[in-house]
Structure 1
Amino acid sequence: MSGSAVTPWVVGNWKMNPMQAEAKELVSGLKELLKNNPIKEEDCYLGVAPTMLALSAIQADFSSATRVIYTVAQNVSIIEGTGAYTGEVSAQLLQDQQIKFVLIGHSERREIFSENTPILNQKVKHALAADLTVIYCVGESLQQRENGQAEQVVLQQICDIASVVQAEQWQKIVIAYEPIWAIGTGKTASPEDAQAMHAKIREGLTQITPFGAQIAILYGGSVKPENAVELAACPDINGALVGGASLNAESFYKIAQAFAHTK
């Protein structure tokens, strides 16, 4: 079942970048591009995930844009509410700052910070309880792909959260498929390979939830203007989670433009 009727998302994951002055320039540049050549909100949702330190400032800067650009948290605590948890930021604290979106399950969090299924499930559960929309990242390693395990690994990662997502809460889930071997490497899955995986994810989602056909499935992994049009043309690729290219306003804008125009 195709998800081509789903409004695409283009989300920039800034990771641990950039410095404050560069961030202000980046925001200013993106606002200017959108002012001069608008991308309609109904054609493509836009979001940016800055560092936790910059969330509120970036959100305030985007408030003067000519269209809505959502601010996305890159992480959330496994702890709920408030309390004596030095260094943690809970879903409720994000909600209190009017942050409505959060990334969970990115491969860098899984690999570098050892975030396993129980930890990710706690994060998803608390984020949804705070009425946040979760952009849940899935993806396989190169070894897993070469061993023919890619689909099994990715579908299992989605099934892993099914136990903590209540029936109606699937409407607050966005899936981001990022083959680990393509993140920050310059390598990209071919449009055919990406579409095949997205179609398999779509099939899996429709077996888990009645909302499966409506859930946006984004592609991530060295997305750039040069490959965005081809990726956007695939019926089950409903947008992009953009890494390095999101640190350049023009590149990010062109990727958003590709998805808005194709859909």
Structure 2
Amino acid sequence: MSGSAITPWVVGNWKMNPMQADAKALLQDFKKLLQNNEIKEQDCYLGIAPTMLALGSVQSELASSVRPVYPVAQDVSRIAGTGAYTGEVSAELLKDQQIDFVLIGHSERREFFAETASILNEKVKNALNAGLTIIYCVGESLEQRENGQAEQVVLQQICDIATVVQAEQWKNIVVAYEPIWAIGTGKTASPEDAQAMHAKIRAGLTQITPLGASMAILYGGSVKPENAVELAACPDINGALVGGASLNAESFYKIAQAFANTK
């Protein structure tokens, strides 16, 4: 399926940034850009993933946007429901706050917080059962790519969750491919390399679910306005998970505009 047949997603992952005043100014600037030159929702879905601390205030600020911009949780607990789990935020608590989207499997969570396939499966299962839509992150390290293992690693990460995703739940999953060596480094996979991996991911998904042909597959890894147009032109790249460039309203807007213009 060509990228033009799938509505693209552009999601800003703010990670552990910024301070409250800067976040408010950033959102106001972004809303103003949308007000002056709207990106229609049917052309591109938009999301912003702030820190958990800022999720409520970001949600409130986005409510006055000229078009929907969805708040996205950066993480979710492996524990379901409520209970005596200090510091945790469950999928049910997110849903109760009308947060409908969550990142799971980001390489920083895998690496720095030792999130194994088993842990991620618990998070995926809980999120789906609570009615959340998941942006599920996959990607290989530079060593794995240089050793010719990139496709194997990425496809295995997708197969890892197949055991807990029910047939009808695949419609609630967006995949984000982020080569670990390109995250925050300024390096970007060439559009050709990125497209090749996205095509492999789509082929793998179609073997798992009939919905694989219509699932959005985002690219992440130093996405910026300068490379967004080329990436957006690739048939199996259906949007972007944007890191550092999402902390600048104009840069984030231009990336969204690049993908919206592929429709």
Shorter-chain TM band = over 0.9
Matched position secondary structure for 2:5:
coil
Determine the structure 2 residue equivalent to 1:209: 209
Distance in structure 2 (CA, Å) of the matches to 1:114 and 1:214: 31
1:257: which partner in 2? 257
Looking at structure 2, the residues matched to 173 and 48 of structure 1 have their Cα atoms a distance apart, in angstroms, of: 17
Work out the CA distance in 2 between the residues paired with 1:2 and 1:114. 36
> How many residues are paired up?
263
- Distance in 1 between the 2:192 and 2:3 partners? 16
Matching residue's letter, 1:33: L
Corresponding residue for residue 193 of structure 2: 193
1:159 matched to 2:164? The reply is no
The one-letter code sitting in structure 2 at the alignment partner of 1:146 is: E
Tell me the percent identity.
81
Gapped runs of 5+ residues in structure 1?
Answer: none
Please state whether the residue corresponding to 1:93 is helix, strand or coil: helix
Q: Give 2:67's aligned residue.
A: 67
| 8 Å contact kept, 2:3–2:234 | no
Q: Look up the SS of the partner of 1:72 in the other structure.
A: strand
Give the CA deviation at 1:3: 4.2
Residue aligning to 1:118: 118
Look up the match of 1:81: 81
Q: Summarize the alignment of residues 1-263 of structure 1 with structure 2, pairs less than 5 Å apart.
A: 1-263=1-263
Cα separation, 2, equivalents of 1:137 and 1:2 = 21
Structure 2's unaligned 5+ residue stretches are: none
Q: Secondary structure at the match of 1:195?
A: helix
* CA distance, structure 1, for counterparts of residue 87 and residue 225 of structure 2: 36
SS of equivalent residue, structure 1 residue 89: coil
Deviation at 1:4, TM superposition (A): 3.5
Q: Distance in 1 between matches of 2:38 and 2:243?
A: 22
Q: C-alpha offsets along residues 179-213 of structure 1, whole Å, 9 cap, x if unaligned?
A: 00000000000000000000000000000001001
2:4 maps to amino acid: S
TM-score (norm 2): 0.99
Runs of 4+ aligned residues of structure 1 deviating over 2 Å after TM superposition are 1-4
Asked if 2 retains the 8 angstrom alpha-carbon contact of 1:39 and 1:257, the reply is yes
Q: Give the Å deviation of 1:262.
A: 1.9
Residue 28 of structure 1 deviates from its aligned partner by 0.1
C-alpha displacement at 1:115, in angstroms? 0.1
Map Cα deviations across residues 126-180 of structure 1 (whole Å, 9 max, x no partner). Answer: 0000000000000000000001100000000000000000000000000000000
| Structure 1 vs Structure 2 CA RMSD | 0.6
